[in-house]
Amino acid sequence: MAQIFALLLMLSSLAGLWILLTRKSRRTRWAALLGTFAVWALLLVGAQAVGVPPDRMFSFLSAFLIIAGIYAVLTLGLNIQWGYTGLFNIGVAGFFGVGAYVSTILVQDPAKMAVGAGLEGFFATYFNQPFLVGFVAAMVASGLTALIVGFATLRLRADYLAIATIGIAEILRLIATNERGLTEGNRGIPNIPQPLHECIVIPLQESPPCRLLGIEIPRFLEPAQYNWFYLVLVLGVIFVAFLALERIARSPWGRSLRAIREDEDAALALGKNTFRFKMQAFVVGAVIMGAAGSLWAHFVKFVDPQIFDAISRTFLVWVMLIVGGTGNNRGAILGAFIMWGIWSGTNFLNDVLPPTLETPIGRIDVAAQLFGPLRIMAIVIILELILLFRPRGLLGEERVTSTMIEPSAVPAKPKAEPASD
| Residues in Cβ contact with 270 at an 8 Å cutoff, skipping those fewer than 6 apart | 259
| Residue 154 in contact with another protein, rule: CB under 8 A | yes
What secondary structure does DSSP assign to 324-374, as a single string? H-TT-HHHHHHHHHHHHHHHHHGGGHHHHS-SEEEETTEEEEIIIIIHHHH
| AA identity, residue 37 | F
Longest distance between any two alpha carbons in the chain, whole Å:
78
What minimum distance in Å lies between the beta carbon of 61 and another protein? 30
- Cα–Cα separations (whole angstroms), residue 385 to 202, 330, 375, 378, 388: 50, 22, 15, 11, 5
- Chain centre distance of CA 395: 19
Residue 374 near another protein by CB under 8 A: yes
> Nearest CA to 333 among 82, 77, 151?
77
The answer to whether residue 78 forms part of the interface with another protein (CB under 8 A) is: no
User: Toward another protein, which CB reaches closer, 278 or 298?
Assistant: 278
The answer to whether 396 contacts another protein (rule: CB under 8 A) is: no
Give the nearer residue to another protein in terms of CB position, either 170 or 198.
Answer: 170
Among 23, 155, 247, 390, binds another protein (CB under 8 A): 155
Stretch that binds another protein, among 32-40, 203-211, 307-315, 400-408 (CB under 8 A): 307-315
Query: Which is nearer to another protein, 9 or 168 (by Cβ)?
Result: 168
State yes or no: residue 135 binds another protein (CB under 8 A): no
State which of residues 388, 404, 409, 412 lies at the interface with another protein (CB under 8 A): 388
Q: Which long-range contacts (CB under 8 A, 24 or more apart) does 19-23 make?
A: 21/330, 21/333, 21/334, 21/395, 22/330, 22/334, 22/395
For residues 235 and 353, which CB has a smaller minimum distance to another protein in the complex?
Answer: 353
Selected binder of another protein within 222, 262, 263, 384 (CB under 8 A)? 384
Count of residues that bind another protein according to CB under 8 A: 50
Closest distance between another protein and the C-beta of residue 33, in Å? 35
Query: Cβ(397)–Cβ(325) under 8 Å?
Result: yes
Question: Which residue lies nearer to another protein by CB, 31 or 175?
Answer: 175
Within 156-175, which residues bind another protein (CB under 8 A)? 156-160, 162-164, 166-168, 170-171, 174-175
Other Cβ atoms closer than 10 A to 338? 19
Does position 318 bind another protein by CB under 8 A?
yes
* Helix ranges restricted to H, 212-328: 226-249, 252-262, 264-269, 274-300, 310, 316-324
Among 86, 97, 285, 393, binds another protein (CB under 8 A): 86
229-288 positions binding another protein, by CB under 8 A: 264-265, 268, 273-275, 278
Decide: is 88 part of the binding site for another protein (CB under 8 A).
yes
By CB under 8 A, name the one of 30, 127, 151, 239 that touches another protein: 151
Q: How many alpha carbons fall within 13 Å on the CB side of residue 251?
A: 9
What does the DSSP assignment read for 8-30? HHHHHHHHHHHHHHH---HHHHH
What is the β-pairing status of strands 362-365 and 215-216? unpaired
User: Is residue 21 exposed (0-12), middle (13-18) or buried (19+ Cβ within 10 Å)?
Assistant: buried
Site string for another protein, 31-70 (x = CB under 8 A): ----------------------------------------
CA distance linking residue 25 with residue 9, whole number of Å = 25
Binding residue for another protein, selected from 148, 240, 266, 400, defined by CB under 8 A: 148
CB of 85 to another protein, least distance (A): 12
List residues binding another protein (CB under 8 A).
86, 88, 90, 148-149, 151-160, 162-164, 166-168, 170-171, 174-175, 177-178, 264-265, 268, 273-275, 278, 310-311, 315, 318, 369-370, 372-374, 376-377, 380, 383-384, 387-388
